[in-house]
Amino acid sequence: MSLVSQAVHAAACDPPAMASSLLHCSDKLPFMNVETILHMKEGLGETSYAQNSSLQRRGMDTLRSLIINSAADVYLSQMPERFAVADLGCSSGPNALCLAEDIIGSIGRICCRSSRPPPEFSVLLNDLPTNDFNTIFFSLPEFTDRLKAAAKSDEWGHPMVFLSGVPGSFYGRLFPAKSVHFVCSCSSLHWLSQVPPGLFDEMNKPINKGKMYISSTSPLSVPMAYLRQFQRDFSLFLKSRAAEVFPGGRMVLAMLGRQADGYIDRRTTFLWELLSESFASLVEQGLVEEDKVDAYNVPFYAPSIGEIEEEVRREGSFRLDYVQTYEINLSSSGDAKEDGRTVSMAIRAIQESMLSHHFGPEIVDALFAKYTELVTASMEREEVKSVQIGVVLTRL
């Protein structure tokens, strides 16, 4: 390895396309600004995202070959001297660099077989400004050592790899025009830029009382509000990437989604239902105010394939090459207690920043003790699964 260069820079293009608040609530409830509050649990401790992201890794592994082959195809079609790879919603921990490492290794081996020098690689890691980029950069020596070992083993030379952290919302511009060859995003695009407007009536009363996401008891206006927010966000995502990706460049996107035609897919809503039940238990114990629970809604939407296809067609800058659903079994070990804890800790690592801001940090331990209990009991009765959608897009 000749050089691995590290840099952190702010995106100096358009401002991030985030709404000012994440939670729509009354004046008496906490205001949440997504860019200053939302982040995966930082650090390397027991409850950190770095220690509790195995479920996301499982989803990433499902599409690993699709991601690597798509990146290699872009390189072969263009043979650039500098190859730029962007990972949007990289988060932190062991998952943050693994795809970049695999892509670099794959292209390096291609160059070796054709007796070409490898390109210089620009690896652009993006997440919100509150992301724990430091944990990623602490792992750079190990990343460098693995690349060196792979290059030596496969005899594909000594590539130059420049690594940058790019804080900002991917619902807006992040990179200069026509500067990126390949974009990947795993387990991120189901997160919206904000909780949708329209979840409170004209009297500021919640219309989805007792629930934080779409459920079987939700009035139709709730899923319609979420769909409209997804349409706005995903369209803006595509428009922003269209400006940044070279013609012929590709994106591979993986997000939680639904296979069902309707808005309710139990594999998507089930874990949110259990979290709502956990809050109901805390309300009964007097640990949380019911009004606060009713005012908490998650900025999440699991789209269908049809909804994704429609926004790609409407925006018009990308060709849809591939789209497929994948079912992921969350009850994988055969031990309901172990699987229940794994799922609960993963949800905690994702949700804790928002929950602590809205309810206060003192309720988090009790909440997830109950949540672990409910998830484990469910896994003792049945297999718990989720649905992931994989999408490959080519810039026209």
- Greater confidence (92 vs 195) lies with 195
**Mean pLDDT of all residues in 295-311:** 96
Q: What mean pLDDT, rounded, does the chain reach?
A: 87
Fold of the domain spanning 45-261+298-329+384-395 = Rossmann fold (3.40.50)
Q: What tokens does 105 get?
A: 């290794």
Distance CA 163, CA 356 (A): 32
pLDDT of the residue at 49: 52
pLDDT of the residue at 105: 93
Pairing assessment for the beta strands 245-256 and 120-127 based on DSSP bridges: unpaired
Confidence tier at 139 by pLDDT (50, 70, 90): confident
**Mean pLDDT of all residues in 341-366:** 89
pLDDT of the residue at 247: 98
Q: What tokens does 343 get?
A: 């799922």
Q: What tokens does 293 get?
A: 């629970």
Distance CA 25, CA 296 (A): 8
pLDDT (tens digit, 9 = 90+) per residue, 74-114? 999 999 999 999 999 988 777 779 899 999 999 999 999 99
Is the pLDDT at 25 greater than 50? The verdict is no
pLDDT of the residue at 51: 56
pLDDT (tens digit, 9 = 90+) per residue, 256-276? 999 988 999 999 999 999 999
- Greater confidence (158 vs 71) lies with 71
Confidence tier at 24 by pLDDT (50, 70, 90): very low
Is the pLDDT at 43 greater than 60? The verdict is no
For residues 16 and 35, is the Cβ–Cβ distance under 8 A? yes
Distance CA 378, CA 264 (A): 19
Q: Position of tokens 């209990």?
A: 373
Distance CA 304, CA 297 (A): 20
From edge to edge, which strands make up the β-sheet containing 385-395?
Answer: 3-8, 160-167, 120-127, 82-88, 180-186, 245-256, 385-395, 318-329
pLDDT of the residue at 350: 82
- What is the reported pTM? 0.90
**Mean pLDDT of all residues in 124-139:** 90
236-270 exposure pattern, b = at least 16 Cβ within 10 A, e = fewer: bbbbbbbbbbbeebbbbbbbbbbeeeebebebbbb
Is the pLDDT at 251 greater than 60? The verdict is yes
Give the start-to-end residue ranges of the domains of the chain: 45-261+298-329+384-395
